[in-house]
Chains A and B, each alone.
Chain A
Amino acid sequence: MHVVYPVVVSALLFSIGVYGVLARRNAILVLMSVELMLNAVNLNLVAFDVWLGDRLHGGQVLTLFVIVIAAAEVGLGLAIVLAVFRTRRTVDVDRLRALAEVVRTPEPGRPDGEGAS
């Protein structure tokens, strides 16, 4: 089998993952999209390992690593999502805006915004 098939599949998988991360609103679905991206990478690793005929099979070893780390990451991510849900009653990524800058209005009596950052 030519290497191009798994590569194309993995590229497709990765693109779907990227789309999911950027566009989905549900935090759990975002996490799943991340999994998709990781698995696209895994597929790439395995395919190139076979294609290149690496004697040490570094690609496959690395795949195992990635799977383990992905498991840990999902565990952590789901824990965060749970914690967020408990406090906010929502897992809608669009509505989690705590990172936005708080726009401070200039204090009255100050001539201009000089000095107030």
Chain B
Amino acid sequence: MTAVVALIVLLPFAAAVAGLLATRLGTRDVRAEDVRTRGVGARDARTADVGARAERAAYRRAAWFAIVPGTVSAALTVWLAAALARGTPATDGRFWAELLPGRTEGTLTVVETGSVPISLTLRADGLSVLAGILVVVVALAVQVYSVGYMRDEPRYPSYSAFVSLFTSAMLLVVYAGDLIVLYAGWEIMGLCSYLLIGHWWEDRANSRAAVKAFLVTRLGDVGFLFGIFVLGLSAGSFRIDDVLRADLPRGTLVAATLLLLAGVAGKSAQVPLQTWLPDAMAGPTPISALIHAATMVAAGIFVVARLYPAFLAAPPTLDVLGVVAAVGMLGAALAALAQDDLKRVLAYSTISQLAYMAAALAAGSDRAAMFHLVSHGAFKALLFLCAGLVIHHVGSNLISHMGGLRTALPVTFWTMTIGFAALAGLPPASGFFSKDAVLSAVEHGTGPAQPLVYASALLTVGVTGAYAARAWLRTFFGPARIEPLPEPPPGVAHVFDGREAPPSMLWPAGVLAVPALLLGLAGWAAGVQVEWGPAAASLAVALLGAGIVYALWRAAPEQDPARLLGPFRAPCERAFYVDAAYAALVTRPVLRLARGVVRTDARVVDGAVRGSGRATLGLSGLVRLAQNGNAQLYVTGLLAGLVLIAVAAVVLT
């Protein structure tokens, strides 16, 4: 069974390698041969034609490389889930023990490092398979969607290869049985995220966003790595099972989990490292769906769930996590309410929803967190894919350019409605059940931060309903605001063609709408309890938020319902000036320091080098005076040296 796990991880990796190396393998030869046989005269006209054909061939081949291994991987994951469901019940009593009791673990080799060995271990249990299914399904949907979305993109082969590599890395994180293996996947994901956010690097802002995402997540990863070291060194092994089984002192656990929390905050875009996620929307929309909604940001939550016993044994860490989540969920939701860029609305909503999962973890329920993770992965990927359809149609990211799209995009309208319903937590969509699970977990939670977290969570439910309603109404209802846009710069947006997107883009959205709608019911059927009283209360809060927005919109459909924030709107739109604060507190001092270092380098270090050269030249000028051409002077010098050596030899011996 471990071989299957390895295959699931390696197939997307192989797809990435093939996509990077083999998509243009034959096509270049075709071009060269053509030129050779037809001679120089026919060259220009033919080369252009053959070049275009070669591009199409590379594109088609890259699409096959992207989709086929992903499909096989998804099928194998389903098979693995079925095999685990038949397994013998484990005794550790984690929440997946009833549903997916089996587990498997295999070690390829143990790397001796001199101190704590690293074992190249893969493992699969209920938690991994749960996250693994989410990853492969969303990744497959995104790959299919990208075939249509990136149709006219010359760099599509490398794009799809990076998506495959990303999928492989995420699966490595999910199925890792060793903390170092997990960390390897974790870092490859960071790299892929950087590459994909900066896919349209011709635009300076995009590459800046990529660098920002890379640096901010890297900042968290430093803490993460040291957390792994603390856990591994004190437990004497990096194997996750050994680490969790080891009887570690509480201080060590608190230190290790707090360090891990830094990495989790970086990857899952939690306060205070959340600033990279909204900027990461500079990447292509399918990437936002895959990385910045469904999988990579979920990795942080997943890791906490994976190491949950260690976190449970360190209550201070959970308190910190709770406070971080409480601040993050409300702040991000308010920021989402004021954004004008549809993708940024969804990005802030992602931060807010991830904070929900963190709150559930802080309250002691990894079951609720994972439930919300999976359902959020489904409906947020759906929302992003639909946002991509809308953006594809309108040619702009801004909500103020949209409106009245209900009739023009019927499929998109219905699927996105499901997504927004799930986001706002309206029954029977999945978000209702998972959010209720989180809320009841938070309600029953303990710890000093619990009242704060609970209040924040309830408020956020209302704000979520408000911003979901705002985005929905402003996009699909009201007067049509489509206007002929100027020709967009290459790679930024798409030319309006007046039709709904091709089927390769509609199908993934349609397929994802099914779990977004039904996953909650499935979870409920599988044994997640629903407390109907609080659920009804939170539903009422959400409807209240949505209702206020609806009333405002109804009064003036042309105006943005975000005006209900009043003077508070500007800070919300700028995400409470966190970016500006970081720029003032961190970025600018660092830049100043860097400039100082450059100046020191130019003046002091280079000055020393150049100065030593100049000093040597000057001194040798003195010595040159001795070379006056008089051979007798040279001999005198020789003799003087000889006498000196002789005297020294006599005196010193």
Q: Which residues of A contact B (CB under 8 A)?
A: 18, 21-23, 30, 93-94, 96-101, 103, 113
Contact = CB atoms under 8 A, between A and B. Distances in A.
A97 B635 contact: no
A22 B631 contact: no
Nearest to B613: A114
Interface residues of B, number: 11
A101 B631 contact: no
B630 interface: yes
Contact of A100 (B627, B632, B636): B627
Nearest to B626: A101
A98 B627 CA distance: 11
A113 B630 CA distance: 27
B628 interface: yes
Contacts of A93: 630-632
A22 B629 contact: no
A113 B617 contact: yes
A101 B627 contact: yes
Contacts of B604: none
B592 interface: no
Given A21-B635, A22-B639, A98 B617 contact: no
A23 B159 CA distance: 85
B354 to A, nearest CB: 59
Interface of B: 617, 624, 627-632, 635-636, 639
Interface residues of B: mostly helix, strand, loop or mixed? helix
Contact of A97 (B617, B624, B630, B636): B630
B628 A22 contact: no
From B617, B627, B632, name the one whose CB has the most chain A CB atoms within 10 angstroms: B632
7 contacts: A21-B635, A22-B636, A94-B632, A96-B629, A97-B629, A101-B624, A101-B629
Contacts of B628: 97, 100
Contacts of B630: 93-94, 97, 100
A93 B630 CA distance: 7
A100 B634 CA distance: 11
Contacts of A103: 624
A89 B319 CA distance: 104
A18 B632 CA distance: 11
Contacts of B631: 93, 96, 99
Nearest to A24: B632
Nearest to A93: B632
A18 B639 contact: yes
Contacts of A101: 624, 627, 629
